[in-house]
Structure 1
Amino acid sequence: MLYGDQAYELEALYDQYLNDPSSVGDDWARFFASLSNGHSATQVNGATRTGGLAGERRKAQAVQQLVLEYRRQGYLASHLDPLGLTSPDHSRLDLSVYGLGEKDLNESFESGIPSMGAKPLRDIINRYEAIYCGSVGCEHFYIRNKEERAWLQERIESENFIAPLDKYTRLRLFEKVYQAEHFERFLATKYVGKKRFSLEGGESLIPLLDTAIEHGGETGLEGMVIGMAHRGRLNVLVNVLEKPAGIIFAEFDENYNPDTLDYADVKYHLGHSNRKMTRSGKEVALSLLFNPSHLEAVNPVVMGSVRARQRVNRDPDRKKYLPVLIHGDAAFIGQGVVAESLNFMNLKGYRLGGTLHIIVNNQIGFTTLPSESRSTAFATDLAKGFQIPIFHVNGD
Structure 2
Amino acid sequence: MSMARLFPGINIGYVLEQYERYQQDPNQVDAAWRAFFERWGSVLVAEEGPTTPGVAAPAVDLAKVAAVVSLAESIRKRGHRAAHLDPLGSDPPGDPALDTGYHGLSERDLEALPASIIGGPIAQSSRNAHEAITRLRAVYCGTIGYDFGHVEETEEREGLIEA
* Higher Cα radius of gyration: 1
- 2:152 corresponds in structure 1 to 148
Greater strand proportion: 1
- The Cα of 1:69 is off from its aligned counterpart by 0.9
CA distance in 2, matches of 1:152, 1:64: 25
Q: How does 1:198-277 map to 2 (within 5 A)?
A: none
Aligned-pair identity in percent equals 28
Answering whether residue 116 of structure 2 is matched by residue 108 of structure 1, we say no
Answering whether residue 132 of structure 2 is matched by residue 127 of structure 1, we say no
- The Cα of 1:7 is off from its aligned counterpart by 4.5
CA distance in 1, matches of 2:30, 2:81: 39
Per-residue CA deviation, residues 266-325 of structure 1 (Å, 9 max, x unaligned), is xxxxxxxxxxxxxxxxxxxxxxxxxxxxxxxxxxxxxxxxxxxxxxxxxxxxxxxxxxxx
- The Cα of 1:137 is off from its aligned counterpart by 4.2
- How many residue pairs are counted as aligned between the two chains? 146
Structure 2 unaligned spans of 5+: 49-56
RMSD: 3.4
- 2:54 corresponds in structure 1 to none
- 1:3 corresponds in structure 2 to 9
Which residue of 96, 101, 104 corresponds with 1:91?
96
- The Cα of 1:116 is off from its aligned counterpart by 3.4
- The Cα of 1:38 is off from its aligned counterpart by 7.6
CA distance in 1, matches of 2:81, 2:128: 24
Greater helix proportion: 2
The answer to whether the Cα contact below 8 Å between 1:75 and 1:138 also exists between their aligned partners in 2 is: no
Per-residue CA deviation, residues 319-356 of structure 1 (Å, 9 max, x unaligned), is xxxxxxxxxxxxxxxxxxxxxxxxxxxxxxxxxxxxxx
CA distance in 2, matches of 1:104, 1:132: 21
Structure having greater relative contact order (Cα 8 Å, sep ≥ 6)? 2
Structure 1 unaligned spans of 5+: 44-50, 161-396
- The Cα of 1:129 is off from its aligned counterpart by 1.3
User: Could you say if the C-alpha distance between residues 94 and 33 of structure 1 is closer, same or farther in structure 2, counting changes exceeding 3 Å?
Assistant: farther
User: Could you say if the C-alpha distance between residues 102 and 134 of structure 1 is closer, same or farther in structure 2, counting changes exceeding 3 Å?
Assistant: same
Runs of 4+ in structure 1 off by over 6 angstroms are: 149-153
- The Cα of 1:10 is off from its aligned counterpart by 3.1
TM-score by length of 2: 0.68
SS at match of 1:53: coil
The answer to whether the Cα contact below 8 Å between 2:112 and 2:128 also exists between their aligned partners in 1 is: yes
Q: What amino acid is the match of 2:118?
A: S
